[in-house]
Structure 1
Amino acid sequence: MKFTVSEKYKNQGRRKTIYAAILVVALIAGFIFMFVNSSDLSKKVIAAIGIFLLAKYLPHAYRSIKNHDTSYPEVEILEPQEKIDISHKGAVVSMPLSDIESLRIQSIKGNVKSLLLTTKSFRNLRFEGYENLAEMAELLKKYTPAGKTKNAAWFHR
């Protein structure tokens, strides 16, 4: 069964990135204003350092906004072959379902919000924002060792 990230989740992430970029630009504008209008050398140095430290995040924010839709992998659980395929930008990584050590399911108000899968191969895999996340949890429960499935009361980031 294939699982993809929902458009709603992608839009929320893009929106958060845009808001953060706007905040950084506003802070840089404030530092530029401080640099231009202050006569005190210490304030000019603080403003220049602030501009320098914040400006290095702008290219990263631009790339993040531009490539946001392609930054989420597609997950496919193949029960007959007993493996998980995670594909991202043409590359596919496979992992046997027998490598699952534990599964944490984080639910809010009865809806599954995220899964944290601990494996022998990759250590921790977190799935958040995928469509049909409850179905993914049920499929993964089948292959999780007995007593190693936990419903998390706190968010497990």
Structure 2
Amino acid sequence: MNFHVSEKYKRSGKRKTVLATLLVVGIIAGAIWVFTASESLYHKILSAIVVLLLIKHLLNAYKSIKNHDSSYPTVTIMESENKIDISHKGAVVSMPLSDIEHLRIQSIKGSVKSILLNTKSFSNLRFEGYENLAEMAELLKKYTPAGKTKNATWYHR
């Protein structure tokens, strides 16, 4: 069964990135204004440092916004072959379902928000924003050792 990230989750993530970028641009503009308006050497140095530290984040934000839609992997759980495939940009990583050690299902108001999976192979996997997360959780529960599944009532990121 294939699981893809929902469009709503992608839009939400992109919106957060754009808003954070606008905040950084505002802080940089304020620092440049302080640099040009202030006569104090201390304020000029402080504003120059702020600009230099934040300018690198603008480049990362641009790359993030540009590549946002292609940055989410597709998860395929194949019960017949007893494995889980995670594919991203042409690369596929496979893991046997028997490698699952712990499963934590995080929910808010009865709706599954994320799944934390501890495995022998990859240590920790987190699935958030996928369509049909409740169905994915039920499939993964089948392959989790008895007593190693936890339903978290307090959602933490």
TM-score category (smaller protein)? over 0.9
CA contact (8 A) 1:116 1:156 kept: no
Instruction: Map 1:16-95; keep pairs closer than 5 Å.
Output: 16-95=16-95
Structure 1 regions of 5+ residues with no counterpart?
A: none
User: TM-score by structure 1 length?
Assistant: 0.99
Structure 2 match to 1:113: 113
Structure 2 unaligned runs (5+)? none
Counterpart-to-counterpart distance in 2, 1:94 and 1:156? 27
Aligned equivalents of 2:54, 2:61: Cα separation in 1:
11
1:138 lines up with 2:138 in the alignment: yes
1:122-153 CA-to-partner distances (Å, cap 9, x unmatched) read 00000000000000000000000000000012
Size of the alignment, in residue pairs?
157
1:102 is matched by which residue type in structure 2? H
Alpha-carbon separation, structure 1, partners of 2:67 and 2:123: 26
Q: Secondary structure at the match of 1:8?
A: helix
- The residue type equivalent to 1:12 in the other structure is S
Residues 79-127 of structure 1 show CA distances to partners (whole Å, capped at 9, x for unaligned) of 0000000000000000000000010000101100000000000000000
Aligned equivalents of 1:98, 1:58: Cα separation in 2: 42
After superposition, the CA RMSD in angstroms is 0.6
1:154 positional shift: 2.0
